[in-house]
Structure 1
Amino acid sequence: MKNMGIIKFTQHKVLIYIVVGIFLLLIAWIVLLNAHHLMVEVDQPEQADAILVLSGAKGEREAEAAKLYHEGYSDKIIVSMAQVGWNTYTGDIMRMHLVELGVPNEAIFDYGDVSSTREEAKQAVPILQELGVEKLILTTSKFHSGRAQWIFNRQLKKAAVDIEVISVPVRDEVFDSSWLENHKTRKQGASELMKFVWEWLKL
């Protein structure tokens, strides 16, 4: 009888674990389906003192910055310098692309030697102050826009610099609740969520 009681208790315990596990998986799935709300931050474009383009992607980010420039939202574009090869920096590549897209070379400013979004934000402070920026358009990929704006706001606050950051990522990109259905967006989203957690843990 004692053994029967132990067996029943064990079975009951296993059943609870299974139910709790299914519940947690369901919660995780709901969170993942809505994770794009955390990753994507899109503001309405408005007149700003400068447009800052973050390194990365394959030309879409600076192409969006060029569109914003030609639409009259700002007369300055700032690009970050991340080394991608021997004596090769993203800022130089973006500058060439921007000029090709009709942005005058003298309207483009570069800064830093960065390897992360946090460094891009931290090292941007001096040039933003030098250019007298009070309102900044931040341009990056959609999946990266939420974390980028969050990091920039935090770094500016740490530096006691009062600059409004407007997030205008690549406007024709799609990154929504369907991000789990596509291999490319799944990879982007998973990486971004891990970086979000890592950035939060480094607070």
Structure 2
Amino acid sequence: MRKRYIILTVIVLFILMILLFFRFGGELLVKEDNIEEIEEAVLVLLMGSVGDRALGAYELYENGNIDQILLVESHIEGEELLGERDIAIPGDADLSKHILTELGAPQEDITILPGHAESTKDEAVTVKEYLKDNPDINTVILTTSKFHSYRANLIFNKALKDQDVAIYSSPTPYDPFEAKGWYQDREDIQRVITEYIKLAHYLLLEQFQL
């Protein structure tokens, strides 16, 4: 009798956990801070989804509290092989800069940092080195996709823990991700599952490399 009770309890708890995950799993991935009172900051535009992130970054820049937009050059698979054939293709940073300038941001306010980053961790490390050479920067705003914002905030806080820099998260509002009803859309399901796998990788391994 007791064994059946234990099994039933485990099943109920498992179902409850699944229901809670479906309800809150998407929202837990979103980190959005209040940045209205920030008067001066540098915006770090993270690479990945180009169009919606660049639009969100420009909107923040247009509000007037952003002095500079930083982007980290991303790794392009096969770039060296293409280079041997005199074929050059723009990376995410170049495309994002093009969008920003077309929208109206001056080129001198946009800086692409060399790095060939393959992950958010690589971007954070590159930005860390840049901030070491620019100690006057004390506020950083991260702009990325909604579903990526929580993990990105974790990574940057860990990477910059020894620097006197305040980090704020402001994901792009143009990201189509639906945090509450993520399980109703195939693309959002893929985003959530992939992001939790990456979050687990960060917690179990990647954070110790920063």
Shorter-chain TM-score tier? 0.7 to 0.9
User: Match of 2:33, as an amino acid?
Assistant: D
Residue 99 (1) aligns with residue 92 (2): no
Pick one of 49, 62, 72 that aligns with 2:64.
72
Counting matched residue pairs gives: 191
Rg larger in structure: 1
1:52-100 residue CA offsets vs partner (Å, 9 max, x unmatched): 0000113111111111111102121001111235254221121111111
TM superposition shift of 1:19: 4.7
Q: Which moved more, 1:135-144 or 1:19-28?
A: 19-28
State which of 185, 188, 191 in structure 2 corresponds to 1:185. Answer: 188
Residue 39 of structure 1 corresponds to 29
Gaps of 5+ in 1: 1-8
1:54 aligns with one of 19, 39, 46: 46
In structure 2, the CA distance between the partners of 1:152 and 1:65, relative to structure 1 (3 Å rule), is: same
- What is the aligned counterpart of 2:133 among 130, 133, 139? 130
| Per-residue CA distance 1:151-175 (angstroms, 9 max, x = gap) | 1001111xx1111111011124453
- Deviation, 1:14, is 6.2
Q: Is the 8 A contact 2:26 2:180 kept in 1?
A: yes
Please say if 1:21 is aligned against 2:11.
Answer: yes
Distance 1:62 1:130, change over 3 A: farther
Aligned partners of 1:48 and 1:136 also within 8 Å:
no
On the 8 A contact 1:48/1:137 being kept in 2, the answer is no
Residues in 2 aligned to 1:156 and 1:190: alpha-carbon distance in whole angstroms: 27
**Matched residue, 1:89:** 91
Residue equivalent to 2:160 = 156
The share of aligned pairs that are identical, in percent, is 28
Q: Distance in 1 between matches of 2:39 and 2:186?
A: 36
TM-score by length of 1: 0.85
Residue 115 in 1 paired to residue 115 in 2? no
Please give the alpha-carbon distance, in whole angstroms, between the structure 2 residues aligned to 1:162 and 1:37.
29
Aligned-residue RMSD, C-alpha: 2.0
Higher RCO (C-alpha 8 Å, min separation 6): 2
CA deviation after TM superposition for structure 1 residue 25, in Å: 2.7
* Aligned counterpart in structure 1 of residue 150 of structure 2, from 137, 146, 153: 146
